[in-house]
Structure 1
Amino acid sequence: MSQTIVNLALPVVTEKINVLLLGYPFYPYQQTFASPAVRERLVAYVLSRIPGFYVSMDHVAACSLESPGNCYSAEQHQQIEQLIHQGIEHLLNPRQAWGSSSTLDPSDSAFLPSSWFG
């Protein structure tokens, strides 16, 4: 008998993203994450920060593909939701990761790209 190993984190994260994005305003949140490429980046952001939950298709009793959310505790669901919110903000505000040091004073020409090359 052949066994298939499935990561149940993906459908849980995808479902939570769909639900949580409905609570955000259309612009810029829902509009931005309507793009499959941006949505995949959000999914990857969250999945890279949580442990995978794998099951074998022969041993799917308590956890199943029909209801993979039952495999996680309430605390784990809350953590996934927090990561989704963080990922949304991270992807929409990439300069936020740089902090206030990313804004340069225009009078400081040593840091302007045009001065780098002579």
Structure 2
Amino acid sequence: MTQTIVNLTLPIVTDKIDDILAAYPLYEYRQVFAVPELRQKLTTYVLARLPVVYVTMDSGTACGLESTGHCYSSEQHAQINQLIHQGIEALLGRPEIWQRRHSPERVEVEAIPSSWFG
């Protein structure tokens, strides 16, 4: 049988991105990262900062990978989660400003007399 090289990191990262965005407190983040280009940029951000894990498998069993999460330690899973959050912040700018901008709360502005006319 022929051997196939399989990247185990990509499916782990994409699954974790899906899980984190589904649990994110702001629905707007999920909407923003539903755009394929931004989702791909987030994935690229994380993958560029991780060691990639490859395995060789028989070509007949390469598609039968159900659980690839055991390839990383719990510390590495925590690092992947942290990188995803950093990537979200990096791609959207400072999150606290972004959250305020899209907050449904309205701030009442006090009328201040102008000194323009003297």
Q: How does 1:62-81 map to 2 (within 5 A)?
A: 65-81=65-81
Partner of 2:47: 47
Output the TM-score relative to the length of structure 1. Answer: 0.71
Q: What is the number of equivalent residue pairs in this alignment?
A: 88
Q: Report SS of the residue matched to 1:55.
A: strand
Output the TM-score relative to the length of structure 2. Answer: 0.71
Distance 2:65 2:86 in 1: 27
**Corresponding letter in the other structure for 1:34:** A
Offset of residue 10 of structure 1 = 0.3
**Corresponding letter in the other structure for 1:76:** Q
Q: Percent of pairs identical after alignment? A: 60
Q: 5+ residue gaps in structure 2?
A: 59-63, 95-118
More helix by share: 1
Q: How does 1:5-44 map to 2 (within 5 A)?
A: 5-24=5-24, 25-27=26-28, 29-44=29-44
Q: Which has the higher contact order (CA 8 A, sep 6+)?
A: 2
**Corresponding letter in the other structure for 1:80:** I
Bigger Cα Rg: 2
